[in-house]
Amino acid sequence: MTSVLIIEDEVNLSRILARVLEEEGFQALVEYRGDSGLETALASAPDAVVLDLSLPGMDGLRVCRELRARGLRMPVIMLTARDAVPDRVRGLDHGADDYLVKPFAIEELIARLRAHLRRAGEPNERLVVADLVLEPSARRVRRGGRELSLTAQEFDLLEFLMRHRGQVMSRQRILDHVWGYEAMPVSNIVDIYIHYLRDKVDNSNKAKLIKTVRSVGYVLRT
Ligand code: CA
């Protein structure tokens, strides 16, 4: 389901937006402050963000800049006050894709969201487990918004585990899928690569995602 994060401190407006988006088949997340909105965006990597310019905690321009600085490239539509033309220009300078001037028709917002999401493109499939986000086509992985640098084999292994989240994968199955049946690897290569992956994915996080199932294999789950 396509998720949209609404960061807007006007409670009535954010509620209406959330309701209409859900009626349109989106999953809506709502935050009322800039700082918590940024945290939620980094943790859940929504498909699009609707961002008010003037917010408590952190203003919308800064939120947008921080998102881009951390490599998040989802469409961001900024909401600005009427006649605040310089704000609109600044919003686009700070990485927003579009803006709407309040008051606006919600239909217009939905139409633009759909257009930007289409442009952002279907090839950008994303696998998400908790705050771990993997984009197969871009070969990118982030945990908690921080980009991880993985080797090709580590990436393939993580992608395989994420595609089968919650399912225990035996070493043999991992070997077959990630290394291929013709590979003649050292016997404990899966364990070695799991160790590398844990170093990069789990070690600096309290919540460990890669779990060992004794004498069976490994599973990725929260
Ligand atoms: Ca506001």
Q: What is the whole-number distance in angstroms between the Cα of residue 74 and the centre of ligand 1? A: 21
d(CA 38, CA 51): 10
Q: For every one of its 222 residues, what pLDDT tens digit does the chain have, with 9 covering 90 and above?
A: 889 999 999 999 999 999 989 988 899 999 999 999 999 999 988 999 999 999 999 999 999 999 988 888 899 999 987 666 666 666 666 778 888 888 888 888 988 898 888 877 656 678 899 999 998 778 899 999 899 999 988 998 999 899 889 999 998 888 877 776 555 556 788 999 999 999 999 998 889 999 999 989 999 999
Q: What is the whole-number distance in angstroms between the Cα of residue 88 and the centre of ligand 1? A: 14
Question: Could you give the angle at the alpha carbon of 27 between the alpha carbons of 25 and 30, nearest 5°?
Answer: 135
Q: What is the whole-number distance in angstroms between the Cα of residue 49 and the centre of ligand 1? A: 15
Q: Is the pTM of this model over 0.85?
A: no
Residue with tokens 């980009």: 147
Q: What is the whole-number distance in angstroms between the Cα of residue 114 and the centre of ligand 1? A: 23
Q: What is the whole-number distance in angstroms between the Cα of residue 93 and the centre of ligand 1? A: 19
Q: What is the whole-number distance in angstroms between the Cα of residue 138 and the centre of ligand 1? A: 34
What are the tokens at 72?
């998040």
From 9, 11, 27, 203, select the one nearest 113 (Cα to Cα). 27
Q: What is the whole-number distance in angstroms between the Cα of residue 4 and the centre of ligand 1? A: 18
pLDDT tens digits, one per residue of 172-194: 888 877 776 555 556 788 999 99
- Residues sharing a CB contact under 8 Å with residue 208, sequence separation 6 or more, in sequence order: 198, 202
- DSSP-based three-state secondary structure for 51: strand
Q: What is the pLDDT of residue 85?
A: 62
Q: What is the whole-number distance in angstroms between the Cα of residue 36 and the centre of ligand 1? A: 14
Q: What is the whole-number distance in angstroms between the Cα of residue 9 and the centre of ligand 1? A: 5
Q: What is the whole-number distance in angstroms between the Cα of residue 111 and the centre of ligand 1? A: 22
d(CA 126, CA 141): 10
pLDDT tens digits, one per residue of 123-163: 667 889 999 999 877 889 999 989 999 998 899 899 989 98
Q: What is the whole-number distance in angstroms between the Cα of residue 13 and the centre of ligand 1? A: 10
